[in-house]
Amino acid sequence: MIDIPAELAATQEKYNKEAGRAFVAALPDLTAAFLDRWDLRLAGEPMHGVGALVLPVDRADGTPAVLKLQIRDHESEGEPVALRLWNGDGAVRLLDHDEPTGTMLLERLDASRMLAHQPDVHEGVLVIARLLAHLHTTTAPEGMRRLGDMTAAVLERTPRALDRIPEPEARRLVADCAAAVREVADDPGDRLLHWDLHDENVLAADRAPWLAIDPKPLAGDPGFDLWPALANNFDPDDIVWRFDAMTDVLALDRARARAWTYGRLLQKCLWETEEGRPPDETDLEIARRLRGRRA
């Protein structure tokens, strides 16, 4: 038997409601089944993120690994596809995968050496940019969820979101972001994006200084991948430096990258307004700082 972390149960209840409760209830039996199926031995205490239970294990030959159990949804279903294509170049390596459940066996990285623990925030941003440069060399496969489809849906829903923003300055800012996204929407890109690369999703390993974990992949423009590193360890006075540094490393056109970064604001704004909340002030401030950057 394993102990299911209370925090994981709480987040599943919050975000996935009945499906989350069913997932948590099934985890002990599901874990036991995969330990037996893949001939694994538990090798440490359970870990978890918002949506997954991660168990350190050893394979029959002694190889260290982790067993990741999560709800299979439109975000997580692309994770094994992306990891298989990246094949360890800049990301954790996939060792085995069960498609019906989304359960994965991954190489074990050093969870005690997370990029978030590094004191130099600027170096952390550069690490993320260099990892993205590796990941973005891969063309997204057919069937991967696509930024173009997401953008069309977001722009269609934006007028309703604007009606729900009472504060005039915030409403104008979101409307300006939508206008910028419309200018690039016809060319959404085809790179394999991580979508959520911030400093808690980067771990150290013996075979590489840093590797990305936990992608929520999609096909699109690399500029759409900048937002997490801009918002992480939020410092409004550092936003322009981070944006310039990342676009330099990735050799991106800054006007285009800024427009796709605004696309993340629109996506997040919809999540907030459709739940009856105002846009997040951190998100708005990132947009303000980038709007003030003219070059």
Which amino acids are annotated catalytic? 196
Ramachandran region, residue 171 (left: φ > 0; alpha: ψ -120 to 50; beta: rest)? alpha
User: What is the number of residues in the chain?
Assistant: 295
DSSP 230-272: HHTT--GGGHHHHHHHHHHHHT--HHHHHHHHHHHHHHHHHHH
Nearest-CA neighbor of 57 among 67, 48, 47?
67
Asked whether 165 and 273 are in contact (CB, 8 A), the reply is yes
Q: Pull the structure tokens for residue 181.
A: 């996204």
Maximum alpha-carbon separation in the chain: 62
- Lookup: tokens for 204: 């150290």
Element (H, E) at 218: strand 218-220
Mention every residue, 6+ apart, whose C-beta is less than 8 A from residue 245.
122, 125, 126, 129
Cα four-point dihedral sign 254, 256, 258, 264: negative
Distances (CA, A) of 249 to 51, 127, 252: 31, 10, 8
